Structure formats: structure tokens, C-alpha cells
Amino acid sequence: MAGYSDPGFDTLALHAGAAPDPSTGARAVPIHLTTSFVFESTDQAAALFNLERPGHVYSRISNPTNAVLEQRVAALEGGIGAITTSSGQAALHLAIATLMGAGSHIVASSALYGGSHNLLHYTLSRFGISTTFVKPGDLDAWKAAIRPNTKLFFGETVGNPGMDVLDIEAISGIAHAAGVPLLVDSTLTSPWLIKPFDHGADLVYHSATKFLSGHGTVVGGVVVDGGSFDWDKSGKFAELSQAYEGFHNMVFSEESTVGAFLLRARREGLRDFGACMSPHTAWLILQGIETLPLRMARHMENTAKVVEFLAAHPMVSRVGHPLLESHPSHALAQKLLPRGAGSVFSFDIRGSRAQGQKFIEALKVFSHLANVGDCRSLVIHPASTTHFRMTDEALVASGIGPGTIRLSIGLEDPADLIDDLKKALKAAEKAGS
């Protein structure tokens, strides 16, 4: 039943949440750079504060430009709504802080972005929230890690940079059997490659800095609720199913049968923690999303060509992309990610740490920096940057070799990318002779 009543992904990427501005006729989404919104009357003011009427009060809590972005990402993910945040890390923190407090426990994939690992392992433990890390593919380990106080399962659709694909269906099944929701970081895949809600996830978040924005210009995050998790039935979430003195004694799960999480996250989390997104940032991310389907298709095309080139190169000992049958997640990726498993992956070049450094320095099209998901191709050498203090032996134990390189494949002419890599590999080879 395609058409306006049942729009496809590409249409939603352009239109979800946005109509011509009623006061000016502006077709593009206006940037509402205002802190506050004038009340019509004292009665309306009180009603807005008490959630009797919908609308905007203060841009830390909500803003019309941000609301368009929130509706758009929710539409693309198949969720019920979303909340924009100042960064992907803020989105992760908002999700966790909404669902639990001191004494709670999380089971998380060990294949996480370093910042997320830090938050769970070091920072949240200071606040009484502990985490057990398990290998994402070890389903028995997920199950065995559950404790009576476990309140969340958490993983990335595709681990960074090893590209372990999360078996969302199996892991969400284990979580749900224990009355626990599954939160998924879908940053590296975007909803164009996979919609985690379709496979059983309950909450999804993005570092919108990456593919959603797509142009390496802004930092932002967004958390989306699939509306599928029954907080009452679980019995583990008094935060959502009991009266909350901090907000009009509201019982969020009574107020909204499917949207309790979003209600509390916005009304408590944004209000109290305050990690909101600037409307200007929201607008730039909306600009990016308008071309998300086109960009993701090109990211995947370029990645396939680069992976094929690297896999055949004599200076390359390993390419860690599920496109290749040798990758442990190849079969799962074929099932869950038929359009591709993403464009952020690692490979190992033969030789020493110095040769790895030489490779990086010789690249001209790839930019050497600490980001991914840009329209430009990016590269980083973990052994000489993020992990430079570690010995070669410690690097191997972390799954990172002295010659491991992480790439984020952009939208350039793929022939130029391959030529750049070819010349840099030659330079690395010479450095070893």
C-alpha cells in the first residue's frame, strides 16, 4: 500500500515530521533558535507544565526544529518517538539514567565503542551501576550474566572496529525472557542498513554525528523508543510504573501505555541532566538525513570495492569486514544486513608498527582523524594513537595488531580511494625493507 499513507524510507527521509511552515510558507525546516516560547495564557502555561496540552516551553526540553528531527529519526527507525541529545554519549547516558539508578546492573557486549566502554566500566560504576561485558556472539554468556538487578542489555548493531554483528533477535529473546529491554547502538549502520526494532530491540540510539549527519560538521545524538517493551509486565521498572514525586506524581506507564520511557526521559532526563541538542545542530542533521539513502548506498558500493582491493593485496594479512566469508559474522550479516554491514572496518597490514605509521602518513585522500561516518574517507592507526601506550602483546590481546588500520569509507570516487591505498601500502612496504 505504498503512497502518502504508507510512505517508503526515502520519502520519510525527506518529509517525516516536516510540513511547509504555516506562518511563512518556508518549505525547508526553519531553525528555531529561541530559548523559550510565549504562552497564550496563564491557563495554557499551567497546562503545558502539567502535560495537559502539547507544545514547547523551553528549548532544553523541546524545540520545533529538534521535534522534526526526532519525528524523522523515529519514522526511519519504525519507533514511536525520539529525543535528541547533545551527543551520542548523551543519548546513551539518558537511556541508562532513565531506566535505573544505583544498585542496577547492565549486561553489555564487549565489542563497544571505547567511549561507551568507559562510561559503563569506569564512570557508571562510580554511581553504583555495574556492567558485565560479554562477547557479543556468545549467547550463553549473555544469559549467564543476568542477575536479579539486571535492567538492561546493550550492544552495537556492528561492533567497532571488529564488525561483530549483533544477533539482535537471539539476544533480545534472552533479554525479554528475563524482563529486560535491549538497547542497541545503531550508529555504524543507520536505519538504512538495519532497523533494530524489526528484529526485537526495544530502544535504539545513534551518534548522529556520524552517518545521520554524514558531513562531519556537528556532534549530536538521538535515542528512539520502539514502544514495544512492557515496563509494567516486566516488574523491574518502578521508575516507569510507579508514581514519580519528581514529576507531578505521574505514573508514566499509566499516562502512556507505549511511551513511558520517552515521557520520563524528556521530562526528567532533559530537564535535570540538560544534555540537549542545539536547534542549529538539529537542522544540520536533518540536512544530512535528507540524503541518507543516497549516501548509504554509495558508502556500501565504495566499501565493497575497497574491501575487494584490500583482500587481494599482498601487503594485507587480514580484512575484517563481514562481506568476506572469512569474517565470523559473515552469515549473520547476510541475514540481518543484506544492504551491507557498514563502511567502518579494520584491516591488518603486514609489518611493524612503524610500517603502519608510514602507511597512514602516505595517504592523501583519506583523512587521519578520530571520527567515522563522514562523507570523506577517514583513517586511524590504533597502535599509534588511541592505544599507543600498549605493548605489541597487549595490543594483540585487545584484538588490535601493530598493523591494524581502521577505515571509514566515504563518498569519493572509489578509483581514487583504491589508488590512495595502493600508494600508501607501497610506502609501508618500502619502510620495512
Partner 1 sequence: MKISVQGHLLYAYTGGKPFNPAQPTAVFIHGVLNDHSVWILQTRYFAHHGWNVLAVDLPGHCKSEGPPPQSAEEAADTVIALLDALKIDKAALIGHSFGSLIALEAAARDAVTHPGRVSHLVLVGTAYPMRVSPALLDLSVSAPFKAIDMVNSFSHSTLAPPPSALGPGTWLYGGSKALMRRVLASNPQSNVFYTGFKACDSYKGGEAAMPKVACPTLFVLGSADQMTPPKAAQSLIDLCGKPTVVKLPAGHSLMTEAPEGVLQSLKDFLKP
For partner 1, which is the closer residue by CB, 16 or 307?
A: 16
Q: Least Å distance between CB 6 and partner 1?
A: 4
Coil, helix or strand for 364?
Answer: coil
The residue type found at 214 is G
Pick the closer one to partner 1 by CB: 19 or 312. Answer: 19
User: Closer to partner 1 at the Cβ: 27 or 126?
Assistant: 27
Taking the least distance from each CB to partner 1, the nearer of 78 and 88 is 78
Can you tell me the distance from the alpha carbon of 247 to that of 244, in angstroms, rounded to the nearest whole number? 6
Q: Which residues contact 71 (CB under 8 A, 6 or more apart)?
A: 16, 17, 81, 82
Nearer to partner 1, 280 or 430 (CB): 280
Give the shortest CB-210-to-partner 1 separation in angstroms.
Answer: 20
Give 80: exposed, middle or buried? Use CB within 10 Å, 0-12, 13-18, 19+.
Answer: middle
Say if CB 405 and CB 381 are below 8 A apart: yes
**Edge-to-edge strand ranges of the sheet holding 316-320:** 316-320, 344-349, 404-408, 378-380, 367-368
Q: Which CB atom, from 261 or from 345, has the smaller least distance to partner 1?
A: 261
Q: What is the dihedral angle through the alpha carbons of 407, 408, 411, 417, rounded to the nearest 10 degrees?
A: -10
Nearer to partner 1, 48 or 306 (CB): 48
Min. distance of Cβ 340 from partner 1 in angstroms? 25
Cell numbers at 320, concatenated:
575484517
In the DSSP assignment, the letter for residue 250 is B
In angstroms, what is the minimal distance from the CB of 188 to partner 1? 23
- All three cell numbers of 390: 600498549
CB of 256 to partner 1, least distance (A): 5
* Closer residue to partner 1 in complex, CB, 63/281: 63
Supply the minimum distance, in Å, between the C-beta of residue 96 and partner 1.
Answer: 19
- What DSSP character marks residue 347? E
Give least dist CB 222 to partner 1, A. 9
The binding site for partner 1 (CB under 8 A) comprises 1, 4-7, 12, 15-19, 47, 50-56, 62-64, 66-68, 70-71, 74-75, 78-84, 226-228, 230, 248-250, 254-259, 262-263, 266
The distance of closest approach from Cβ of residue 415 to partner 1 in the complex, given in angstroms and rounded to an integer, is 39
DSSP secondary structure of 71-118: HHHHHHHT-SEEEEESSHHHHHHHHHHHH--TT-EEEEESS--HHHHH
Is 262 exposed, middle or buried (CB count within 10 Å of its CB: 0-12, 13-18, 19+)?
buried
Which CB sits closer to partner 1, 60 or 143? 60
- 83-to-74, 100, 206, 227, 290 alpha-carbon distances in Å: 9, 18, 11, 14, 19
For the CB of residue 65, give the shortest distance to partner 1 in the complex, in Å: 10
Helix, strand, coil share of the chain (percent; to 5):
40, 15, 45
